[in-house]
Every structure is written in structure tokens, then in C-alpha cells.
Structure 1
Amino acid sequence: MSAGVGLLVTPTTATVTSGIDTRNAGAASGLMNTTRQLGGALGLAVLVAVAGASDAGRVPADPAADHGRVFLVMTAILLAVVAATFALPRRAEGVEAGPAPREVRSEQGG
């Protein structure tokens, strides 16, 4: 999981901040990170609830069946996210991503 997150953070951040004015790029990046953390926490809570809900009244618990349900829920969520990406608006042709960052020059007196 760590390798997957590591491979996705940079492209996701670049995508999120690509259409944002340079003055607002920090806020957009912070919002993306907050959303990612909140989504991870809520997603884990939902999956733990799905795994634990099926244990009621069963002794001993069947971890294989619980994990199977969790993977089905994860697949359903993934498919919903993929479907939602097609509903997102696309950037119009010929529209630039935003102003290029200004070059900062340091002048050294001497």
C-alpha cells in the first residue's frame, strides 16, 4: 500500500494544482491532503464496520467470509469512484492551466 500511495501522491497533487492560480496552489494542495486523510479514515471505519458486523452471533468468527465482504465493498466503492470520474468536467480545448509561476530573482549587491 505504501508504494501505491507513494506513486499516486505526486501525480494527484500535480493534477489538483494544475488549474489553480499560483497564489491558491498551497490552499488547493492542503485541501487535497485533508480530503485524502479524511477519506482514508472514513473508508477504514466503514470497512472495519462491514467486517465486524457479520460477526454478530457467530462463534467462531469466519475471517475469510468477512474479508470477502470487505473486498466486495472495496470493489463497489472503487467502481463508483471510477464512474464518478467520468462525470467530472473536462478542461475546454485551448484553455491554459493557469498563469506560469513567476521567476524569482535574487539580487546580490556588491
Structure 2
Amino acid sequence: MANLFAAESDQMTTTAGDVDGVNSEVQGELGRIRGVVDGLAGEWKGQAKDSFDDLMLRWDDAAMRLSNALTDIADNIRANSSSFDAGEDEGASSFKQVAAAGASLLNL
């Protein structure tokens, strides 16, 4: 059973790394798109430019919130993995204590 728990903990750690990878890929793609859009910024004039600039501020804010959310998800998965490992260790220790107490009662 401990091997099952270890595998689940390992899977959590791997998943957290996968989320980090997705975050990096998404941020890279958003940065690429931002670069293309920045090249168009000089084409806007007057109120259209003001609207464009406002939109880009919202874009940047949304990109940051997405990155933060993905980072939080990965961090939470890692924390759950650590808690999972600690719970497994605590459970094993408790079973050993019960077994030792039972053995002494049975004079084993």
C-alpha cells in the first residue's frame, strides 16, 4: 500500500511540474502575441489609440493573473504531495505503535 501512496505522491509532483511547463508555454505564447500586437501600436491614433492602450493594459493584467493562478495551482499540488507523504509516514508510525503494543500484550 505504501508503494501506491508513493506513486500518487510522485504523480502529484510530476503534475505540478507539468503545470509549471504549461505556464511557461502559455506565457511564451502570450509574449509572442504581445510582441506582434506591439508592432501594430503605432498604427492607432486618437481615441482608437486610447482604447487600444486600455485594452493592452487589461491584456497584461489578465496574462499576469493567469500566470499567478497556474503558479498557485502548481504550488498547491506540491504542498498536497508533501502533506500526503507526511500523512503516510504518520500512519505507518501509528500502525507500528499499535503492532508493538499488541505484541507486548500477547507476549510476542
TM-score normalised over the length of structure 2: 0.39
Instruction: Give the number of the structure whose alpha-carbon radius of gyration is greater.
Output: 2
TM-score normalised over the length of structure 1: 0.38
Higher helix share: 2
